[in-house]
Amino acid sequence: MKNLIKVIAVIIGLALTAFIFLMLYVQTNWDRKYDSPYPDLKASTDSAAIARGKYLVYGPAHCASCHISLDDYEAMEAGEQVPLKGGEVFNLKIGVLTAINLTPDKETGIGNLTDGEIARAMRDAIGHDGRVLPPFMPFKLMTDEDVIAVLSFLRSQTPVSNKINKPEYTREGKWRLSTGSHQPRIIEGTPKKSIPREASVVYGEYLVNTVANCVGCHSVASIEYGVKEFEFGPLSGGVQFGGTNVNNYRFITPNLTPEKQTGIIANWGEEAFLARFKQGRIYENSPMPWGSFARMDEVDIRAIYRYLNSIPPIAHKIEKTVYGPGEEIPSF
């Protein structure tokens, strides 16, 4: 009997020690830093580069749908050039992250970040301080020309002072940061210098998979785990947004592949696709940045349509994409 008590005490003691070590490990390791070379790209004052950058930021690359104050959201969607002063809050499992002030203000914005630091954040998801950034900016393969355009536009803005809260990580977030399960997402490939802007499959592929990140929202598992793991195949839809509360609107992304029975656009013509994008937002809470995409020009929208029609059809039935308050989402 005594021996049994001893054994149990030793086991409890060991478990407790292991737990304390684990907590210490998380406490000392969650703030780990990453490194990668800074892209050798510099902002220019060329007016064509600045105009292209502004188009990308407010249009297909939709930086403006996150890096503004929520008070300005409606005006941004309506086509106004609201300041990129940051402040939108993202409540994630790993913590509360706030989109930073992207205006060139020295104290509160990107005034003290170098071009290399900003370009690396876009391409490698590593912050200026070496911190891992969320997989919201998967611009690894954005061409040199377009990254330069974005940098040139960002530098050309009027500075706006707006102090942004530092990220606050949850216990789960710190655990994932310390164990490296939340780390900069690696997107394979080498960025090109430039890609001709025309209504081609090649340019459409670039917009869908790199600039506009359609692939991130319209493919299961790509948001959290990286582009390589697609449960049903790329662009076949099925990602749920809006949480589990049935009193809210919730959304499921449609299948964008050209599969006749289950692909949402498989039976839309190119003109209908163009018209849908020009129409913009229908559902107030849809996470799709419709306002930004409505600013895309015809060439870009046609390129996207042509690319989506060139990819392998995948049969993946999404019953419905919009669930109103009180509606149960069937499991599928």
Nearer to ligand HEC, 19 or 213 (CB): 213
* Nearest distance from C-beta of residue 18 to ligand HEC, angstroms: 30
Plot region of 237 (φ>0 → left; ψ -120 to 50 → alpha; else → beta):
left
Footprint (CB under 6 A) of ligand HEC, residues 5-64: 57, 61-63
Q: Which two tokens stand for residue 292?
A: 């930004």
Residues touching ligand HEC, count (CB under 6 A) = 48
Q: How many CA atoms lie within 13 A of 261 on its CB side?
A: 4
What number of other Cβ atoms are within 10 A of residue 4's Cβ?
8
Going by C-alpha positions, the residue among 162, 152, 187, 144 that lies closest to residue 40 is 144
Residues 94-153 that bind ligand HEC (CB under 6 A): 97, 99-100, 102, 117-118, 121-122, 127-128, 133-134, 136-137, 139, 150
> Least Å distance between CB 191 and ligand HEC?
14
CB of 44: closest distance to ligand HEC in angstroms? 16
Give the three-class secondary structure for 251: strand
Residues 76-95 that bind ligand HEC (CB under 6 A): 90
Tokens matching residue 289:
């940045």
Exposure string for 234-253, b = 16+ CB within 10 A, e = fewer: bbbbbbeebeeeeeebbbbb
251 binds ligand HEC, rule: CB under 6 A:
yes
Q: Site residues (CB under 6 A) for ligand HEC?
A: 57, 61-63, 65-67, 90, 97, 99-100, 102, 117-118, 121-122, 127-128, 133-134, 136-137, 139, 150, 167, 208, 212-214, 216-218, 241, 251, 253-254, 256, 264-265, 276, 283, 286-288, 293, 304, 321-322
